[in-house]
Amino acid sequence: MEEEWLNRIALTTIPALGPVRIRSLIEYFGNASAVFQSNRKEWLRVPHMTELTCKELKKKHPLSAAEKEWKFIQEHQITPLFLTDANYPSRLLHCYDPPPLLYYKGNSNLNNSRILSVIGTRNHTNYGKQVTEELMAGLAGLEVTIVSGLAYGIDALAHKAALQNQLHTLGVLAHGLDIIYPWQHQSLAKEMEKQGGLLTEFTQNTQPDKHNFIVAGMADATLVIETASKGGSMITAELAFEYNRELLAVPGKISDPASAGCLQLIRQNKALLYTSPESLLETMGWKTSQPKYRQIRLLDDLSPDEQNILQLLKNTSALSIDELLISSNFSSSKLAAILLQLELKQCIRVLPGKRYAMLG
């Protein structure tokens, strides 16, 4: 089996092939060893193969680089995943260009039934930070795996908030597992290995490449928190759209450059409007019976102010925000914050006309 792995690694080092041709070769020949043992006549029978690619494949490709990579994999307890393996991320196989070989370090199920990618700008606003953290709090306990790119900004916020809410989170790296970039995220990466993992298609000694789009193909849905109208997040969002994955975007001020990309995706009908964790759960069909469970534990989970609001709603079918303001004596900003927390904790629901009612 080691020989097959060496041939798998060697196959991915031939630039002229690429993921589409490698997948076609494997589907035709069955494994990497059989590919190298074949000849030009057979290779040309494979879809997408040309004289040029056959010429590159015919060259003697020394196994020294593959052997070095295999040694690195063994020494650092990395799990290699080839596209024919049972534990290879199955969602990627539905893409037209899945990476033939992945390198993984962690303890998360890459085929979890609920996977959400979260992407956004490196220069986030306080609004973006708030939305990201409230999203993770709203997903707590729902066994959703969070995928992002371990970059500055929204990526790092998503990973950290996921860990804080006991969600598994995967960092898709744009380089090999021999480094962590940016280096400031090394401690975060270590924590993620214990509660999720790190995944890459790149071998060691690969320089960071911002064009890395496994994030889009790994998940059931991609949520864009904040982004300019151009950049890596928009490219990833467009790819998620091409892959026919659910795409959602957070709206923002029309004058805010950080929201320009999100508004563009919504305007073009490529992305659905994200307004709350509940809206995401409804879109994805991930709703559970958790709200009723929370009603039983209200006193344990809620602040005194939150409990006061629930007491006001307890014996009514619904109350308007004006009625709640009068009855609670809270300021409008304080009441809005409390209502948002109760909604995130799935204790209340919002009705038309800014009316609120208890769940359960």
At 93-106, the pLDDT tens digits run 999 899 999 999 99
Is 144 domain-assigned? Answer: yes
* CA distance linking residue 200 with residue 99, whole number of Å: 9
Residues 276 and 294 in one domain: no
CA dist 214 and 237 (Å) reads 11
User: How does pLDDT run across 312-353, given as a tens digit for each residue?
Assistant: 988 777 788 888 998 898 998 899 889 888 887 878 887 756
12-37 pLDDT tens trace: 999 899 999 999 999 999 999 999 99
One domain for residues 280 and 312: no
Lowest mean pLDDT among 13-27, 57-71, 171-185: 57-71
Residues 30 and 50 occupy one common structural domain: yes
Do 259 and 295 belong to one domain?
no
Q: How many domains does the chain have?
A: 3
Q: Please check whether residues 204 and 276 belong to one and the same domain.
A: yes
Last residue of some domain: 59, 75, 91?
Answer: 75
Per-residue pLDDT, averaged over 69-85, amounts to: 96
Q: Place 360 in a pLDDT band, splitting at 50, 70 and 90.
A: low
CA distance 93 to 97: 8
Please write the tens of the pLDDT for every residue from 113-139: 999 999 999 999 999 999 999 999 999
**Mean of pLDDT over the chain:** 90
* Chosen domain end from 260, 284, 308: 284
267 domain-assigned: yes
Same structural domain, 128 and 157: yes
- Asked whether residue 105 is assigned to any structural domain, the reply reads no
- Specify whether the CB–CB gap between 198 and 192 falls below 8 A: yes
Asked if 227 and 123 sit in the same domain, the reply is yes
Range of the domain at 57: 2-75
Q: What does residue 199 show for φ and ψ, rounded to 5 degrees?
A: -135, 140
What confidence tens digit (pLDDT) does each residue in 263-288 have? 999 999 999 999 999 999 988 988 75
Q: Are 259 and 252 in contact (CB under 8 A)?
A: yes
What is the pLDDT at residue 295? 45
Q: Let me know if residue 84 belongs to a domain.
A: no
pLDDT at 210: 63
In the structure, what pLDDT confidence band is assigned to residue 355 with cuts at 50, 70 and 90?
confident
Please report the pLDDT score of residue 345 as a whole number. Answer: 82
Residue type, 275: T
* pLDDT of amino acid 356: 85
Do 221 and 324 fall into the same domain? Answer: no
Indicate whether 158 and 222 sit together in one domain: yes
Residues 6 or more apart whose CB falls under 8 angstroms from that of 324 comprise 309, 312, 330, 335, 339, 356
Q: At 113, phi and psi to the nearest 5? A: -70, -15
Mean pLDDT within 303-311: 91
